[in-house]
Structure 1
Amino acid sequence: MPGFVADRTALITGATGGVGFEMARRLLAEEFTVVLHARSGRRGEEALELLVKEGFDPLRMHLVLADFARLGEVATMAARVARAHRRIDVLVNNAAIAGTDERVLTEDGHEQTFQVNYLAPYLLTRMLEGALAEARRSRVVNLSSALHRTGRIDWADLTRERRYSRGAAYAQSKLALTMFTRALAEFGPDGLTAASVHPGVLDTPFLASCGCHARPAGEGADTVVRLCPPDHAIVNGAYYDEHLVPAGPAAPVNDRKAVHQLWRISERLTGLG
């Protein structure tokens, strides 16, 4: 694949199934060292075992654990990754949940979908800024969704205490992640470029209850992987559709004041401010 060279390191969150696992397989085939994030040790070990059975070098696979519903675990994981890997060339923020029918708060006090889908990847990315900067040319790819266009950031009620629905919470989380991508283009370390991408409607456990036509997870992984090479030119901070064409995002993504406001609030909510 053009743009990839050996001896590069990628971190993929949510790498035990679906798009994340398929991406790990593809980056390993391109001779990347791949750090696979899992929520639990059992699922992580199962993913590693499958990849080893396929012939991939176990020395180029590293497992890290964190439940994104606990920001303390995210911070611990980020510190461990930074100690073990001086340089991170590619970070793919893939881990996400569809949410629950009833509103759930994490032990950190945040609405669960907003924390897992946005605050956790925000914290992870920020804590890995040093390792990303060390690569000189690095790339962050955030898995967004076309549904981000239906989202709204309720600045006065980010935990959605007053009005909660599963779909609205999910759309808000993906809108925030897409706005964060735009912020990284401005505030990220030198040499870092960022993109958010809608990989399409995919046949993964994430959409098991959807009941709609979906593409195989491998096709979605192919889409995302093409954005990963840091040497591959992209529009920094842009939102890409499943055809890898820069697409018009929701209006708040282009609202510089709103993007700055979200960055500042996210620093405070994750303890970085």
Structure 2
Amino acid sequence: MTWTADHIPDQHGRTAVVTGANSGLGLVTATALAHRGAHVVLAVRDTAAGRQAGRRIGGNVEVRELDLASLASVRAFAAGLAAAHPRIDLLVNNAGAVLLGPRRTSVDGHELHLATNLLGHFALTGLLLDNLAAARAARVVHLSSITHRNAHLDFADLMGERGYRGAAAYGRSKLATTVFGVELDRRLRAAGAPVLSVLAHPGVTRTNLTPRAMAHRGRRGRVVAWLGLLATQPVQRGALPQLRAATDPAVRGGQFFGPARLFQTWGPVTEVRASPEATDPAVGRRLWTAAEELTGVSYL
């Protein structure tokens, strides 16, 4: 069976939170969920863009400000959301940073890829876990990347202060995201919690990040970016793995979905495997401890 958005079951009565929902994969995901009847919270850094996306989506949506690179913003968002929605059925940790220029840090002093792609979502998930546990069959979906397969976590230099390269930092942050998703599944199972942790990656997908990421490299960078777009799949297809992870009734905790063809770069949705480092329990425990220390959020 080829899984498509037509397989998404009715979502009426469910509350879904999608980070980075104003564009790209997040917008497609939020749209599909809203059109199936979910109440969708667009968790976005730019609320004006979020409101514009909400009008485009239609349906039952609300916009809330969230800057994942700021732990203060994450805490404020989580407190407001938890009070307004005692039960949350779905959290899609979709938002991400792709920065190929010089090394940058968050307001908390963390390398910006790691801050946005891992630490913000780690804190957010922990702060909303009670609300997720209050739902009947809640899920947390983590957006990974095929780049995680070629990355390695150096716990002596998690912030990438030595020999920084943007592309490598992005890959490390996505490996960390994958480790988090797998380790969260282990801990939820051990605790007997009624929440699933599921992973997905979009393969190589056309989003607004690719041309923006290459633009600073001048004419050659722009040419490379646009040639790359010709070899990628549309965002509507790229969002299918995370939509399946979020909605397929047959999904089990710890499963990982991505494209089936050409080394998982495109094609129909299938279950895929994370890298050996991403599934190593020792790495999971070590990253979890580091994330707790860096965010000040402890759970499970």
Amino acid at match of 2:140: V
Amino acid at match of 2:108: D
**Correspondence for 1:31 among 12, 20, 37:** 37
**Correspondence for 2:292 among 219, 244, 267:** 267
- Indicate the SS of the match to 1:227: helix
> Which consecutive segments of 4 or more residues in structure 1 shift more than 3 A?
1-5
1:214 alignment partner in structure 2:
232
1:88 alignment partner in structure 2:
88
> Residues 203-242 of structure 1: matches in 2 within 5 Å?
203-208=206-211, 209=214, 210-211=225-226, 212=228, 213-229=231-247, 232-242=249-259
Q: CA deviation at 1:184?
A: 1.3
8 Å Cα contact 2:199/2:245 also seen in 1 = no
2:186 alignment partner in structure 1:
186
CA distances 1:195-216 after superposition (whole Å, capped 9, x unpaired): 2111121111012243312211
- Indicate the SS of the match to 1:237: coil
2:145 alignment partner in structure 1:
145
Q: CA deviation at 1:2?
A: 5.2
Structure 2: any 5+ residue segments left out of the alignment? 1-6, 215-224, 261-268
- Indicate the SS of the match to 2:239: helix
2:22 alignment partner in structure 1:
16
8 Å Cα contact 1:13/1:38 also seen in 2 = yes
CA distances 1:32-53 after superposition (whole Å, capped 9, x unpaired): 00000111121112112222xx
Matched, 1:198 2:215: no
Amino acid at match of 1:214: T
- What is the alpha-carbon distance in structure 2 between the residues aligned to residue 256 and residue 223 of structure 1? 24
Q: TM-score, normalised by structure 2?
A: 0.84
8 Å Cα contact 1:94/1:142 also seen in 2 = yes
8 Å Cα contact 1:39/1:65 also seen in 2 = yes
- Indicate the SS of the match to 1:64: strand
- What is the alpha-carbon distance in structure 2 between the residues aligned to residue 153 and residue 235 of structure 1? 27
Across the two proteins, how many residue pairs are aligned to each other? Answer: 266
Identity %: 34
8 Å Cα contact 1:10/1:33 also seen in 2 = yes
2:132 alignment partner in structure 1:
132
- What is the alpha-carbon distance in structure 1 between the residues aligned to residue 117 and residue 275 of structure 2? 17
Structure 1: any 5+ residue segments left out of the alignment? none
**Correspondence for 1:251 among 262, 271, 276:** 276
